[in-house]
Amino acid sequence: MHIGVGADPHISLALPPDAKLERERADEPSFRHLDSDEMTIRIGRSGPLSDKSDNGDVYQRRRGAHTASSDGQDTGSKQQEGVGQTGSSWRRIVLLILAITIHNIPEGLAVGVAFGAIGKTSSASFESARNLAIGIGIQNFPEGLAVSLPLRGSGMSTWKSFWYGQLSGMVEPIAGVLGALAVVLAEPLLPYALAFAAGAMVYVVVDDIIPEAQVSGNGKLASWTSIVGFVVMMSLDVGLG
């Protein structure tokens, strides 16, 4: 028989060796059987059976929830900024389309007046009216691109962008018919109408297109293209009379 050290001597004498060893193992602290992951998370209270409300797993859960809410707020602010930028881009596109459409009206009036005034004066001839129509028709190509390309860049389909670009120029034939019918009243207003059309386009280019090109990094290209455009139009004006 063996006498167990640290145990009750009466119980040690009564128990066999195997039962005594099992009882000594049972008296050892129970934290040896806890999971290692749980011990690394619980950093609050010193005991192995501490309440979970004071331990590190609750802190980790709270910290994770706070991090998720912060990420949600950042995502929401980024979405609001994106919506604001999209609205601003659409406002610029609408402004450009309206400016081009409005400035096409006096151009159509000019063509209509030129054809309606044939034979009324010595300077009004078919050749001059035809040359005016050709010059306005040539400069309508970049105007249609100025409407179609921003719409295509904003996500609209190719055919819809092309269609809206054509619609912006549909006011010219209508204005041409009205100008031919009212040639007597429109002829004195023709220089003012053409000046208004040119001023509208110059304003849109200087106020909107060139600053947008500077922001996107194409400032030099836009400046040289504007110069080339002025040279071409002046050449057409001199060459076609």
Q: What b/e string do you get for 137-171 counting C-beta neighbours within 10 Å, with b at 16 or more? A: eeebeebbebbbebbbeeebeeeebbebbeebbeb
Q: What is the pLDDT of residues 130-177, one digit of tens each?
A: 888 888 888 888 888 888 888 888 888 888 888 888 888 888 888 888
Q: Assign 79 a pLDDT band (cuts: 50, 70, 90).
A: low
What is the pLDDT confidence band of residue 81, given thresholds at 50, 70 and 90? low
**Closest of 23, 24, 60 to residue 41, by C-alpha:** 60
- What is the per-residue pLDDT across 180-192, written as a single tens digit (0 to 9) for each? 887 767 667 778 8
Helices 171-181, 56-116: crossing angle, 10 deg rounding: 30
The candidate with the shortest Cα–Cα distance to 213, out of 195, 225, 199, 201, is 225
Distances in whole angstroms, Cα of residue 165 to Cα of each of 111, 160, 193, 222, 225: 20, 8, 22, 20, 20
Q: Following DSSP, what letter does each residue of 49-64 receive, concatenated?
A: T--GGGSHHHHHHHHH
Mean pLDDT of the chain: 71
State the pTM of this model: 0.43
- Nearest CA among 160, 107, 109, 101 for reference residue 138: 107
pLDDT for 103-131, tens place per residue? Answer: 888 888 888 888 888 877 777 788 888 88
Q: Has residue 239 got a pLDDT over 50?
A: yes
